[in-house]
Amino acid sequence: MSTTATSARFLKANPHALATILEASQTKSIISSKDIFDISGTKLWARNQPVSDALQRKLLDRQLREPLETCLLAEDGVTSYSLLQDAEVLLQRDMPLAHMLKPYTQRLLLEIKHLPLHAVAQLLLTAAQASKPQSFEHALLAMLLNGSLAMAHGASTPNVRLAMLAGLMHDLGELYIAPEHGELDADRDLSFESYQHLVVHPHVGQLLITQLTNYPANVARAIAEHHERLDGSGYPHCLQGDALSPLGKLTAVTEAALNSLRQPQSQLAHASVALRVVPGEFDLTWVGFISQAVRTQPPLQAQLEVSEIAYRWQALDHALQAAERSTEALHKVAQSTALKDATALAAHLLSRLRTGWNASGLWSQQDMTEQDVAELEAVEAELLFRLRGIQRAALLRAGSLQGDDVHRIHEWGHSLAVLHK
């Protein structure tokens, strides 16, 4: 795409992306592929010159003629061949996804050889590989899982490759936010401050792909949608149903599955639970392939006795009821449209959790087996995770409030925080 169509967003070097690139330059050869000029025509950096901290100082507060990402080249960075080697190592590892990916291993490795790596994507993937190895591994796993699910569904070769590209690049936008706010660094227990930063990364990733590369529009759109949910409970745009693209629905399932497997001792069954715990969040086509794969795996092992889980399950029910009551009360006294919108969103998300609680069928506590207890533990963990997320989503929706509404929403948020501890 011509740089004349480039958004001003990329005409100033992003400090977080630049810091990651500079860190990567300590172990990788990253050079300028062309002269770098500021908007007034002053040359800041010569072609073929290695990047260094001096470049960072020269770019400070400068608007550029062209985006920095299009002016740099990782000479010894990520290639199709290195992706192939990394994928081979990953596929041999003992991990929750190993059994599910195994039937598709040979074809996945074949298709990796044909994935086009645009120079901007190659630069950013190289930066992630060198500076954020866990994030790079997450990208590889998303590439493999997206590809295998597409293959299981009988997708054509071009569509399999598009799915793999969307998985590989879905989190590039995270390079543009402070590292302490990223999903891996903040884990699943994000503060609201981190959440405010994190929610923009799908949109930034879409802009990167749309404005700085020549990848198909459906890849960029899938990247934008990888945290959206069919019931409107996702971010950044709370899209619903068919407003999500087919590739976006697939990539959302992959992201949620991988996120659930980040915890120590996770099994594929935890991914299945995460995808099913709140009915209507994800496309059942893709969920079904993962649930089917779980049936061939050893069952989850219960950590609690039936009596203990019965108490915990009852406590979760009471927490949901308390959250529902406090949200309804806040909605009644809200003075601003913004707070009313925020509480309406919270009520909607709580109703989704209640649906999940009811749909589990395990609340009856009758003739419960050890396997039932094990699944119930996983369901409880996911519902508590979603309960934490409701507070952040409502605060984000409310934005900047005035007067008594500021105090009210923070009191409400504190009450929810107490409930899920």
| 273 touches 341 (CB < 8 A) | no
The pair of three-digit structure tokens given for residue 247, joined into one six-digit string: 């590739």
The span from the CA of 166 to the CA of 160, in Å, is 10
Tell me: the pLDDT tens digits for 352-372? 888 888 877 655 666 677 777
Residue 401's pLDDT is 82
Indicate whether 310 pLDDT > 50: yes
What is the rounded average pLDDT of the residues 312-319?
83
Work out the pLDDT band at 288, boundaries 50, 70, 90.
Answer: very high
What CATH number belongs to 80-294? Answer: 1.10.3210.10
pLDDT at 420: 59
Q: Which of 228, 249, 227, 247 is nearest to 174 (CA)?
A: 227
The confidence score (pLDDT) of residue 339 equals 92
Q: Strands (DSSP E) along 28-105, which ranges?
A: 30-32, 36-37, 43-45, 72-74
**377-392 pLDDT per residue, tens:** 888 888 888 888 788 8
**Portions of the chain given CATH number 1.10.3210.10:** 80-294
Which pLDDT value is given to residue 2?
Answer: 36
State the pLDDT at residue 194. Answer: 67
pLDDT at 58 over 60: yes
Kindly state the average pLDDT of the residues 103-126.
97
Instruction: Show Cβ contacts of residue 302 under 8 Å, excluding neighbours closer than 6 positions.
Output: 309, 370, 371, 373, 374, 377
pLDDT bin (cut points 50, 70, 90) of residue 4 is very low
Q: Report whether pLDDT(118) > 70.
A: yes
Predicted TM-score (pTM) of the model is 0.91
The pLDDT value given to residue 182: 66
Residue (of 233, 99, 256) closest to 170 by Cα position = 256
pLDDT at 296: 86
C-beta neighbour count of 415 within 10 angstroms: 17
| Stretch among 116-120, 241-245, 315-319, 357-361 having the lowest mean pLDDT | 357-361
- CA diameter of the chain: 77
Residue 197 in contact with residue 180, Cβ under 8 Å? no
Position 187 pLDDT exceeds 70 = no
Determine the pLDDT at residue 34.
96
Lowest mean pLDDT: which of 35-39, 125-129, 306-310?
Answer: 306-310
According to DSSP, the residues that pair with 32 across neighbouring strands are 72
pLDDT above 90 coverage of the chain, percent: 63
> Are the beta carbons of 199 and 205 closer than 8 angstroms?
no
Residue with tokens 């009191």: 411
The pLDDT of residue 321 is above 50: yes
pLDDT for the residue numbered 191 = 64
* Mean pLDDT to the nearest integer, 61-88: 95
Cα 49 from Cα 16, distance rounded (Å) = 21
Query: Taking CA 233 as the corner, what is the angle to CA 328 and CA 166, rounded to the nearest 5 degrees?
Result: 170
Residue 28 to residue 22: CA distance in whole angstroms? 9
User: Which one is the CATH code of 306-419: 1.20.120, 1.20.950, 3.40.190, 1.10.8?
Assistant: 1.20.120
Burial of 106 (0-12, 13-18, 19+ CB in 10 A): exposed
pLDDT above 60: residue 74: yes
**Closest C-alpha among 30, 42, 40 to residue 71:** 30
The ranges of the chain annotated as CATH 1.20.120 are 306-419
Give the residue with greater pLDDT, 225 vs 405.
Answer: 225
Statement: residue 297 has pLDDT above 70: yes
Closest CA to 122 of 223, 33, 34, 249: 33
Please state, rounded to an integer, the average pLDDT across all residues of the chain. Answer: 89
Average pLDDT over residues 215-230: 97
Which of 38, 21, 2 is CA-nearest to residue 77?
21
Which strand (E) or helix (H) includes residue 209? helix 201-212
Closest alpha carbon to 351 in 388, 321, 392, 389: 321
pLDDT digits (tens, 9 = 90+) for 129-186: 999 999 999 999 999 999 999 999 999 999 999 999 999 999 999 999 987 776 654 4
Q: What is the dihedral of CA 212, 218, 220, 225, to 10 degrees?
A: 170
At 8, the pLDDT band (50, 70, 90 cuts) reads low
Query: Of 239, 320, 313, 245, which Cα lies nearest the Cα of 281?
Result: 239
Q: What are phi and psi of 245, to 5 degrees?
A: -80, 160
* pLDDT classification of 6: cutoffs 50, 70, 90: very low
